[in-house]
Amino acid sequence: MAFPNQRKRINRTSTGIRNLTAETSLHPHDFIAPLFIEGGTNIKSEIPSMPGYYRYSLDTVIHEVKELVDVGIQSVLLFVKESDDKKDNTGAYAAQPNGLMQQSIRIIKAQFPELLVMTDVALDPYSIYGHDGIVDIEKGEIINAVTVEALVKMALSHIEAGADWVAPSDMMDGRIGAIRDAFNVKGYAHKGILAYSAKYASALYGPFRDALDSAPGFGDKKTYQMDPRNRKEGIDEAYLDEAEGADMLMVKPGSFYLDVVRDLSDSSNLPVAVYQVSGEYAMIKAATEKGWLNEQDIMMESLISFKRAGAKVILTYFAKEASKRLINNYPNS
């Protein structure tokens, strides 16, 4: 029997040669670790729909941040769970200098000044209606222009507290340009904006909304988050954010939208981020708890898929665990 002159299996015969010829690799520096913070003290509260993931109070989150830094993670994205008395339909508390987010930024930056601290910018944690913007309740609509004004104030308050980047996740039209203009006017032209550019109205956000008690009180978010059936629209949204002054573009969720990640990474010169969202995390956890999948292997394979599709940055709830595996020379990583 004649064999081909080129035998592709030769480059697969050992771990060494597979690592030497790998087209894609992961590093802890690739990850942004989301952190959930709530008021109170001595809190480390597991999120039921996200096994192994927690909300922290200001005093306990520092220990978690240290663990992240120790495994090589260089960036975090902060989210806060606000009490009901801080919620209304204006988002006013979101910009308070001594709000929970602003306190979190100052405490973390004081302990870890070199850590890149990013912050969520959206009104849903502060809304009595659980929406990302200010609601015209009679019409049941989100008011874009007024919401953008509130988001600008919120973003500025984060930067003034010491944040390095803001990450507007609201999907209001024009908010990237408005925030960039405000940064320039206020002397913060050097601060970054990670734009949630192609954020789809996905069924995968449920556990996250449990974590922050931010589920919409009526209707859904389909009038501002994107239709999952649309691919080109995601690229158009990203181009608008790039033109308005974004420094990084995000696709969210990750696993079901790798075509959009690839399209965007091929067509934009900005770094592309992808968010492996709570539902993706929960599905992996549920399948591994049933014994149907190997958690470590499927975790690493899922993360590799994002890099292979063209993402430069990965937001994932597996950031710490994956980084531990990487620093221990996990194969095929």
- Mean pLDDT of the residues in the chain: 92
Structural domain includes residue 15: no
Structural domain includes residue 121: yes
191 is catalytic: no
199 is catalytic: yes
| pLDDT higher than threshold 80 for residue 7 | no
Buried b (16+ CB within 10 A) or exposed e, 72-87: bbbbbbbbbbbeeebb
Structural domain includes residue 223: yes
Domain containing 204 — which CATH number?
3.20.20.70
Query: What is the spatial distance between Cα 282 and Cα 290, in angstroms, rounded to a whole number?
Result: 12
DSSP-assigned letters across all residues of 23-69? S----GGGEEEEEEEESSSS-EEEETTEEEEEEE-HHHHHHHHHHHH
Binned at pLDDT 50, 70 and 90, residue 331 comes out as low
Total number of domains constituting the chain: 1
Beta-carbon neighbour count of residue 262 at 10 Å?
16
Structural domain includes residue 11: no
pLDDT tens readout for residues 208-249 = 766 656 566 667 888 889 999 999 999 999 999 999 999 999
Global pTM?
A: 0.92
Torsion angle of alpha carbons 242, 177, 255, 122, nearest 10°? 170
Structural domain includes residue 217: yes
Which domain, by its residues, includes 280? 24-327
* pLDDT at res. 178: 98
Contact 132, 170 (CB under 8 A): yes
Residue tagged active-site, from 87, 191, 199, 307: 199
Packed helices 175-186 and 144-161: angle between N→C axes, nearest 10 degrees: 40
Structural domain includes residue 332: no
Residue tagged active-site, from 87, 191, 221, 252: 252
Structural domain includes residue 196: yes
| pLDDT higher than threshold 60 for residue 256 | yes
pLDDT tens readout for residues 143-164 = 999 999 999 999 999 999 999 9
- Reported as type and span, the H/E element at residue 298 is helix 295-309
Structural domain includes residue 16: no
